[in-house]
Amino acid sequence: MNRVWITDCDIITPYGLGTEACWQGLLSGKSALTKLERFDTAEFKSNMAGIIPGLEYHQGKSLVYQMFEKVFEGKSVPKDAKLMLATLNGEMDRIEEQVLYGRGEPHSGCMPNLLNAVQELCGIEEEGAVISSACASSTAALGIAGSMIRNGETDCVVVVSCDPVTEFLYSGFSSLMALDPGPARPFDEKHNGLTIGEAAGYAVLMSEDRARSEGCRNYGELVGWGMSNDANHMTGPLRDGLGLARSIEIALKIAGISEKEIDFIAAHGTGTVYNDLMEMAAFHSVFSSPRPTYSVKGGIGHTMGAAGLVEAVLALKTFDTGLVPPSVGVETPEPSADGWVLKNTIELDAEYTLSTNAGFGGVNSSLVFRKGGAA
Amino acid sequence: MSLEIIGTGWLSREAYGSEKLGRNIEYASRTELRKLGKEDGLFAYPVKNFGRLTEISQRVCYLTALALQDAGLEYAAGNKLNIGLLGTDEFGCEQANLDYFRDYVEGGRSMARANLFIYTLPSSPLAEAAIHFGLQGPLLYFRPQEQSIESLIAAAKRMIAEGQAEYMLVYELDSEIDRCHVIGKI
């Protein structure tokens, strides 16, 4: 079995371009969520969002393509890698333009077209695939990529992920009464819904042998992945958390470690009451004692299919810096999160982390990472 | 022990059937697609709100029932099974996206319909099947650039081998004949 290293990664988030900008934003405890001006929100339950400054809406290039242009500018990824595009629904603004203005060719807003465009943008020559598993899309893609490398099917996969803030998405979540009127406060006693955010990013996953031979940096090792389904409801999670717990247990088993070895948790933490309680129920069922836990969604919003990749990249920063960021927006943790969720940055010499995501249709995905450079 | 296709259900605009059991039943001349489940007794128990599901979700439910039966796998209400779902088609949920956003725009861009919005994910039809049949393994839409089903079958085999599920269902949708293959150990 090959070991799987993360040899390169970067993201663009509402805090700005680059992992470091997002990391520093989270450590500051200040939220990047702001009043949304991209489209009229007067009829919706909220007017808050996590927006990347400087993107043009309905002006030519799609929002996600613009994000990818920024995140890949000056970067180089292995041309012989497999490409995996993970997204909720890709270029939703193209669908909007088609309906509102009659623009675009048939199927121009489809995900395979975005895959082709991203492939060209980053110069990858190998065949790619689109992965979509609701808000666990990029978590699932990282797991599949890890599995392919571990089993020797390939020695390098580039996972790219993105989702934008669009009227399409915003109106839908508003109709589901899922939006917090203010900025999302995951795991806080006053949590009252999510705030939609946008992000894009990439991670290069490589076999240890190839990474060593090419002198690549090891940001962290992907050692476990688990996927499950609640088989319960299209939009609501299984309240006892056993669906998510199942994915965590599978990830731990593949990693070959016990729950005791997980040092901190990068949680999904959307800010909806149902999700936060479900997730804490899952953690209580799997873990024998509380672990430092945070959600980034009070800082950048729920970045949908991109959430897992963004959260994984940020979790790797803890290995590098020895810091675990606070769960932005938490003042008083809701009771089941008390003793777990961080209100402030802490120092931690972590060896393993767990990152979790869940989504519509009952999907759950979990990843376990090990500190880079470990023998 | 090897991992192979152990059952396949299929559905077209005119007929449905299964590979191992050798079924090939024409239905188009006597009933509509949405009535097929009830009239031909395809489900072990009724699918909740079946008439409200999108057509592709209805097709996925039929295919799942046919494939599970072909593989000799039983299901029952309230029972969860260690089975996952991987699906592919050509354009994702494009039609659902257009239906949802057109309806929202025609409604004055004030209130969207949640029951259309939930189908604006390419994984949603698979999720409807997972809910009805109690399938708690991995669930995702996986669309290879070259649309080869082999990539999905390989992914499904890896998932079984590493313990994500005991069986995997692999769906090929939106072709002339939709298919659902059951991957498992023989």
- Which is nearest to A133 in space by CA: A171, A92, A87, A168? A87
* pLDDT of amino acid B148: 87
Whether the predicted pLDDT of A207 surpasses 80: yes
Ranking A124-128, A245-249, B6-10, B133-137 by mean pLDDT, the lowest is A124-128
Tell me the chain B residues in contact with residue A132 when contact means C-beta distances shorter than 8 Å.
Answer: 92, 121-123, 140-141, 143
pLDDT digits (tens, 9 = 90+) for A1-14: 999 999 999 999 99
State mean pLDDT over A13-42. 98
CATH architecture of A223-371: 3-Layer(aba) Sandwich (3.40)
Longest dimension (CA), chain A: 57
Give the class (CATH, top level) of A4-213.
Answer: alpha beta
pLDDT digits (tens, 9 = 90+) for A79-91: 999 999 999 999 9
Identity of the residue in A100, A110, A231 whose CB atom sits nearest the CB atom of B134: A231
Find the residue in A nearest to B104 (Cα).
Answer: A171
Asked whether the domain spanning A223-371 has the same topology as the one spanning A4-213, the reply is yes
Kindly report the number of other CB atoms within 10 A of residue B161's CB atom.
12
- Which is nearest to A132 in space by CA: A371, A366, A361? A361
Q: At what angle do helices A273-286 and A242-255 cross, to 10 degrees?
A: 50
Whether residues B110 and A229 touch (CB distance < 8 A) is answered with no
State residue B72 phi and psi, 5-degree precision. Answer: 75, 25
Q: Which residues fall within 8 angstroms of residue A64, CB to CB, at 6 or more apart?
A: A87, A90, A91, A114, A162, A163, A164, A200
Average pLDDT of chain A is 97
* pLDDT of amino acid A375: 42
pLDDT digits (tens, 9 = 90+) for A144-161: 999 999 999 999 999 999
Whether residues A361 and B121 touch (CB distance < 8 A) is answered with yes
Map out the domains of chain A as residue ranges: 4-213, 223-371
Residues 28-47 of chain B whose Cβ lies under 8 A from any Cβ of chain A: none
- Which is nearest to B151 in space by CA: B127, B124, B178, B170? B170
Average pLDDT of chain B is 95
pLDDT band for position A209 (50/70/90)? very high
pLDDT digits (tens, 9 = 90+) for B31-90: 999 999 999 999 999 999 999 999 999 999 999 999 999 999 999 999 999 999 999 999
Tell me the chain A residues in contact with residue B130 when contact means C-beta distances shorter than 8 Å.
Answer: 229, 231, 361-362
Whether residues A116 and B126 touch (CB distance < 8 A) is answered with no
Best residue of A88, A133, A173, A232 to probe chain B, by most B CBs closer than 10 Å: A133
pLDDT digits (tens, 9 = 90+) for A57-80: 999 999 999 999 999 999 999 999
